[in-house]
Chains A and B, each alone.
Chain A
Amino acid sequence: MLAQQLVNAISLGGVYALFALGFTLVFGVLNVVNLAHGAIFMLGAYAALQAVIHLRLPLLASALVAMLITGVAGWLLDRLIFAPLRTRRAPHLAPMIATIGLAISLNSLVQGFFGAENLRFPVDALLAEGLSIAGVQITWLELRIIFLAFVLMAALLWGLKKTRIGCALRGLAESPKAAALMGVDVEGLFRMTSVIAAALGGVAGVLIALYTNAVFPQMGQPMLHKGIAVVILGGMGDIRGALLGGFFLGFAEVLSVAYVGSTMRDAVAFGLLFVILLFRPEGLFGKSAQRRA
């Protein structure tokens, strides 16, 4: 049983990490807790589902459609909400509250179009055939999720480290003012970050919807709770932290079901988060940098 539970933990961790990547990116660069990330994640799942059903696209192409649509949503989010708030020098809570409004609207819109019921990707689109290795069951899909979480994270890290844009982004995360003085197109970078983060959220939506077999308007909500926990555990705005935090939460949940009892699954996860914050305010894996006010 333990071997199976460890595999469960790794794939759940991959799911959480995948969701947290875009979430933590927006926080790191734009300094915004984007409570609409769950709704964008949901939008991605619906976009791909429509592409599979109506355009009869293969899964990979549908995931690209989802990224495209959520990317546009990310562009609009920054253009219509974050950018005006930046120009008005709004206090840092303002964008977060605006994203609550956006999440409510997006959920309502999607429900209006597609209904409130749970939907599912057509079975032939699934990669659900299982592998059985020494009594441990895993599906190709889970392997892909774990793999993709690593690949996307590696790509992001590489992009941030090695490219000029990445260098500018890191500067931006450090101090927007200084970056602007160095001739960095601050506004453009903010917008690009929002687009990339939303596209990451969209692809996460597709993969996680495939993994859990459930597409519904409120699907982002529980992920958002967990995503927040993951990002805190990993250190806010830390790309590697999102992955580590995801796996940490995955293991914490699975092991608490296995050895404590499933009624305490979330209590253990959030209790742990509370305790960790008290002792390591910068997150479990975050560098002990200065605290943000």
Chain B
Amino acid sequence: MEWLESFWATYSTLVLSVGTNVLLALSIYLTLACGLLTVANAAFMGLGAYTAGLLTINTGTPFLLALLLGALVPALVALIIGRPTLRLSGVYLAMATLAFGEVVRIVILNAENLTGGALGLNGIPQLTGWFEVMSAVSFTLYILLRLARSRVGRAMAAIRQDEIATELMGLNVRSYKLFVFVFGAALAGLAGALNAHFTFFISPNEYGFERGVEILAMGVLGGSGSPWGAVIGGLLITLLPELLRGLGHYRPLINGVILIVIILYAPRGIWELTRYVRFPTRTPTAN
């Protein structure tokens, strides 16, 4: 038990980061599974983090409520921008959401009186423990796994395969897209709210372009065919730099090379590799 205690003392933040990153990966899985390439998740994460952080610091809102609102506010924003934005597809959708994310970041930066601007938000109470993170991750994972096997999940897969055919079959494609976009935003917001409450401090630059790309990398590396892929991606992106810590200066170099190698040998994500094990007779379909 002493071993566990010392492990937890050293690595608690890392373990909690794994949890919130898995949530982020799941948030982008939702849109990727529907064939949508959106990269506003970092901004939604920031909105969640600031909402929850401001609430617990200034008003002493109970943590659970703050988390809930941290998920709700980005969901609401996603609902508002979703309709016009989701008419776009492919790279254009990615760029529109990227631009939106930048605008959100700069607005947070300039709303100095509320957010502290570049100086960030300090002294956020330490309320996130392993229990909150574990419950959030397992609950989300349960819902998404159920969802994947439900009518909604099949509709999502159909939209990804062929949007026009799905529409012709009478499914309301736009509503499904809006649903995954808003749900994804809520998850990213929740991850942000949880993350803010174990890192003492948040600042606008954490929620910029780099974070957005990192989240996307988690989703794609793990594989967007199943929520489990997102879990793998989140684990990998969080733990890889830690495992390579001994490499010193050249850690990012090796880290980058490993990412390339994974993509080369598992272009559909790591989860898809297990497909051969799971269904040895079926050949993967190209889309």
CB atoms of A264 and B90 under 8 A apart: no
Given contacts A104-B256, A108-B252, A278-B96, contact A93 B90 (CB under 8 A): no
Chain A 102-127 near chain B by CB (<8 Å), digits 1 or 0:
11111111011000000000000000
Residues 1-50 (chain A) with a chain B CB within 8 angstroms: 27, 33, 35
Q: Which residue of B lies closest to A104 (CB)?
A: B256
Q: Which of B258-287 contact A (CB under 8 A)?
A: 258-260, 263-264, 267-268, 286-287
- In the complex, the answer to whether A266 meets B263 with C-beta atoms within 8 Å is no
* Stretch with Cβ within 8 A of A (4 or more), from B16-24, B62-70, B102-110, B119-127: B102-110
Q: Does B217 contact A (CB under 8 A)?
A: yes
By the criterion CB–CB under 8 Å, are A292 and B91 in contact?
Answer: yes
User: Closest residue of chain A to B88, judged by CB?
Assistant: A281
- Report if B179 contacts A (CB, 8 A): no
* CA of A91 to CA of B284, assembled, Å: 12
Total contacting residues, chain B, CB less than 8 A: 46
Chain A residues within 8 Å of B260, by CB: 81, 98, 101-102, 105
The answer to whether A103 touches B256, judged by C-beta atoms less than 8 angstroms apart, is: yes
> At the interface, yes or no: B15 with Cβ under 8 Å from chain A?
no
A277 and B252 in contact, given A85-B264, A97-B217, A271-B103 (Cβ under 8 angstroms) = no
- Determine if A98 and B263 form an interchain contact, defined as CB atoms under 8 angstroms apart: yes
Q: Which 3 A-B pairs have the closest CB atoms?
A: A101-B259, A90-B267, A105-B256
A293 near B90: Cβ-Cβ < 8 Å: yes
Minimum distance in angstroms from A186 CB to a CB of chain B: 18
Residues of A in contact, count (CB < 8 Å): 48
Give the B-binding residues of A (Cβ under 8 A): 27, 33, 35, 81, 84-85, 88-91, 93-95, 97-98, 100-109, 111-112, 221, 225, 228-229, 232, 236, 263-264, 266-267, 270-271, 273-274, 277-278, 281-282, 291-293
Q: B84 — which chain A residues lie within 8 A by C-beta?
A: 278
Contacts of B103 in A (CB 8 A): 267, 270-271, 274
Query: Which residues of chain A are within 8 angstroms of B256 by Cβ–Cβ distance?
Result: 100-106, 108
